Homo-oligomer: A and B are copies of this chain.
Amino acid sequence: MRAEELHHPTGRVLVVVCDKGEDPVSVVGDALHRYGLCAGRVTAVGGFREAEVGWFDPERADYRRIPVREQVEVLSLLGDVAARDGQPVLHVHAVLGRSDGSTVGGHLLGAKVWPTLEVIVTEVAPELAKQVDPGTGLALIAGPGR
C-alpha cells in the first residue's frame, strides 16, 4: 500500500495506489483511518484479477455475493466516505469489464488488484454522519432532517 495526502488550495485529497494482489476495500479503508478522512467522494481506475461484488437482497436484508473469477478492467469505481461512530466508512460500487467488453458489477465487497488501482478521494466536508437504518440494518448517511 502507498497512500499520499495532498494539501492543495482545492482542499484535502487522498491519492491511494493499490499494488498487485492488494484488496482495495481494506487498503483504502486503512488510508481513510490513517488520515482521518470522514467525508469524501471516491473514484478509481485500474484492474482486478478477481473480485467479489454484492447485490443487496431486500427480503434477506443481506448481500447476495457474486464472485468474479477472471481478470477485469475496473470500468467504474464510485462511492463515498462517511463516519459511523467517528470512524470513516467506505461505500463503493463497481462496474467491471471482461475480456469481451461485457460487464458485471455490484457493491464492492473485496478484490485483488492487478496491475494497479489508482484511487482518488476528495474530502467534501469535515464529516458526514452515518446512522443505522432500522428497516435494512444498513448504515446510511443521515441528513440534517433526521
Residues of A with Cβ closer than 8 Å to B?
A: 1-4, 6, 8-13, 15-17, 20, 41, 43-45, 47, 49, 53-58, 64, 66, 68, 71, 73-80, 82, 91-95, 97-107, 114-116, 118, 120, 122-126, 128, 133, 135-136, 138, 140-146
A143 adjacent to B93 (CB under 8 Å): no
Known interface pairs A76-B75, A80-B120, A122-B41; A95-B98 also in contact (CB < 8 Å): no
B73 adjacent to A76 (CB under 8 Å): no
Q: How far is the CB of A58 from chain B (nearest CB, A)?
A: 6
Residue A75 contacts which of B4, B95, B135, B141 (CB distance < 8 angstroms)? B95
A15 adjacent to B124 (CB under 8 Å): yes
Residue of B nearest to A79 (CB): B45
B133 adjacent to A116 (CB under 8 Å): yes
Residue of B nearest to A94 (CB): B75
Given the complex, which residues of B lie within 8 Å of A99, measured CB to CB? 55, 57, 64
Question: Of residues A98, A99, A101, which shows the largest number of chain B Cβ atoms within 10 Å of its Cβ?
Answer: A101
Known A80-B120, A115-B133; 4 more pairs at CB < 8 Å: A10-B122, A15-B124, A41-B122, A97-B105
* Distance, CA A44 to CA B98, complexed state (A): 22
B76 adjacent to A13 (CB under 8 Å): no
Given the complex, which residues of B lie within 8 Å of A45, measured CB to CB? 78-80, 91-93
